[in-house]
Copies of this chain bind each other. A is one copy, B any other.
Amino acid sequence: MRNIKITIKYDGSRYKGFQRLKDNDMTIQGKIEDVLSKMANENIEIIGSGRTDMGVHAYGQVANFKTTSNLSVDKMKTYLYEYLPEDIVITNIEEVDERFHSRYNAKSKVYLYKIYNNKFHDPFLRKYTTHIHKKLDIELMKEASKYFIGEHDFTSFASSKSKKKSNVRIIHSINITENDGLVEIYFEGNGFLYNMVRIMTGALIDVGHKKIAPEDIKIMLEEKDRTKAADTASAKGLYLYKVSY
């Protein structure tokens, strides 16, 4: 069996998330599996590097699948481009070692969170950013972000639905840029708990609004209690940006 790795860019606005649910539900995985199964004339399941929730987007989600098909990867890419809906595009496709597993082998991930910080929202950004009308103090947010860097127990910053054995994760870097009201926050880490980026973003927004101080992040981490941290920022500002192996 050949093992094929694909990189996927998608506008998640119309979908119930990445992971396949019931057969008729709109999911990214479902759409891709349906097209691949038709292409290869066999039942194909793809393994994603991780789930993304309803409304979350991706610049570089990664998945892999096994197939007996003899088609060249270029032909597969063209077939996928032709038959997938136009809000899902395969940006890269390659044949990989049979042991490659898009979830287990992921070394680090980058998530991007986009905020539009302006009194009035922008018609073109409404599905692709979270609108925050009250002015954010970006310098305070940068200061606060440093408390997340390194190895921590992120229990306070994970959905209470998260069922992982350990809530310890390493954040390598957080970069915040602001340009004409568009605030972009890049989070790089070895792994992320359920809702972790959205809750960290919620806390950074609270800092930006001076509801809490930058050093409060340190206390929240130490409390290891989800009820002590911030609200979960909305899905439409979140992008799975890159997965590294």
Q: From residue 77 to 132 of chain A, which have CB atoms closer than 8 A to chain B? A: 81, 86-91, 120-124, 126, 128
Contact of B126 with A87 in the complex, beta carbons under 8 Å: yes
Contacts of A126 in B (CB 8 A): 11, 86-87
Q: Distance in Å from the Cβ of A30 to the closest Cβ of chain B? A: 16
A5 within 8 A of B: no
Whether the pair A86, B124 counts as a contact (CB closer than 8 A) is no
Q: What's the least CB distance linking A77 to chain B, in Å?
A: 8
Q: Name A11's contact: one of B86, B88, B124 (CB within 8 Å).
A: B124
Contact among B81, B88, B90, B123 with A88 in the assembled complex (CB-CB below 8 Å): B123
- Are B10 and A89 within 8 A (Cβ)? no
Which of B89, B120, B122, B123 is close to A123, meaning CB atoms less than 8 Å apart?
B89
Which residues of chain B have C-beta atoms less than 8 A from A9's C-beta? 122-124
List B contacts of A87 (CB < 8 A): 123, 126
Q: Is the CB of B11 within 8 A of A121?
A: no
Interface-centre pick from A57, A81, A88, A122 (highest chain B CB count, 10 A): A122
- CB nearest to A84 among chain B residues: B123
CB proximity of A173 to chain B, nearest CB, Å:
23
Contact A128 B123 (CB under 8 A): no
User: A11, A87, A90, A120 — which one has the most chain B CB atoms within 10 A of its CB?
Assistant: A120
Distance in angstroms from A179 CB to nearest chain B CB is 14
- B81 and A123 contacting across the interface, CB-CB below 8 Å: no
Q: Measured between alpha carbons, how far is A123 from B11 in the docked complex, in Å?
A: 6
**In the bound complex, do residue A89 and residue B11 qualify as a contact, i.e. CB atoms below 8 Å apart?**
no
Q: Is the Cβ of A128 less than 8 Å from the Cβ of B120?
A: no
Given contacts A9-B122, A81-B120, A86-B123, 9 further A-B pairs with CB under 8 A are A9-B123, A9-B124, A11-B123, A57-B124, A86-B121, A86-B126, A87-B123, A89-B120, A89-B121
- Could you jot down 17 A-B contacts, CB within 8 Å? A9-B122, A9-B123, A11-B123, A11-B124, A11-B126, A57-B124, A86-B121, A86-B123, A86-B126, A87-B123, A87-B126, A88-B123, A89-B120, A89-B121, A89-B122, A90-B120, A124-B128
> 7 closest pairs, A vs B, by CB?
A11-B123, A87-B123, A86-B126, A89-B123, A9-B123, A10-B123, A89-B120
